[in-house]
Amino acid sequence: MSHGDEMRKFIFDEKYIETLTNFGIEDIDRTSLSLFKYDKGELVCRENHLLGRFLICVSGHGRSTVNQRNGKSLILNIFKKGYVIGDYELIMNFATMTTIVADTELMCISIPLAEYRDYLLNNNLFMRKISEILAQKLYASIQHSASSRLMPLEYRLCIHLLKVHNQGLFDARLTDTADMLGASYRHLLRTITHLTDKGILTKTSAGYMIDIPNLNKHIEDF
């Protein structure tokens, strides 16, 4: 384990037992578990590198990206509490397929794969949960692909805002948001201005405050 990992690592907190129960692994030896805290902007894992642990996000949010041949990164997903990191790697025993970055302070339960890979793979309740999560990821990917081709940017941005806001605040980097939505930065700014004019967004020093009821109604009107 690197020095950086040691700085991020904390003793498992019993308040997360409910999360273990939700994944069907409440009988796991808690002394083998730990918590990893990643600060905003910090790298959780890098594409094509061995992670060595299975992570369950219990607070904060982040994004997964893949590198393209031209050197740019494509944002695949924005995630929150309940997201798991290392599911495909656990099942296939491959290196990580994506790069994960924390967009806020991110806290994750860490399970060492060297010790618990067989236990996890042979736990039916756990694997059923992972299957559900993988299905959700696939569905989200299909929806994103379809909306990128068929729906205007304003609709896609509204759906995105519902997914990533933090208590009504949208504070993500707009360049990342433009990449995620497959739009130019200028086009995104025009769309945000339009939503601001409608009273759906209000610009503040911390980011954009969202009128959630107004946003939901606007989505229904499409």
Q: Is 25 helix (H, G, I), strand (E, B) or coil?
A: coil
At 135, which CATH number? 2.60.120.10
Q: What is the pLDDT of residue 136?
A: 84
Cα separation, 33 vs 220, whole angstroms: 44
Say yes or no to pLDDT of 3 above 60: no
Say yes or no to pLDDT of 143 above 80: no
Say yes or no to pLDDT of 17 above 90: yes
Q: What is the DSSP string of 154-179?
A: HHHHHHHHHHH-BTTEE-S-HHHHHH
Mean pLDDT of the chain: 87
Last residue of one domain, picked from the residues 146, 164, 191:
146
Q: What is the pLDDT of residue 75?
A: 72
Say yes or no to pLDDT of 65 above 90: no
Last residue of one domain, picked from the residues 98, 116, 146:
146
Q: What is the pLDDT of residue 145?
A: 66
Q: Are residues 139 and 78 in the same domain?
A: yes
Q: Containing domain of residue 211, as a range?
A: 151-220
Provide mean pLDDT across the span 164-170: 86
List Cβ neighbours of 155 (8 Å cut-off, separation of 6 or more).
147, 219, 222
> pLDDT tens, 32-58?
999 999 998 899 998 888 888 999 999
At 208, which CATH number? 1.10.10.10
Q: Are residues 36 and 102 in the same domain?
A: yes
Across the beta sheet with 99-102, what order do the strands follow?
Answer: 43-45, 99-102, 62-67, 73-79
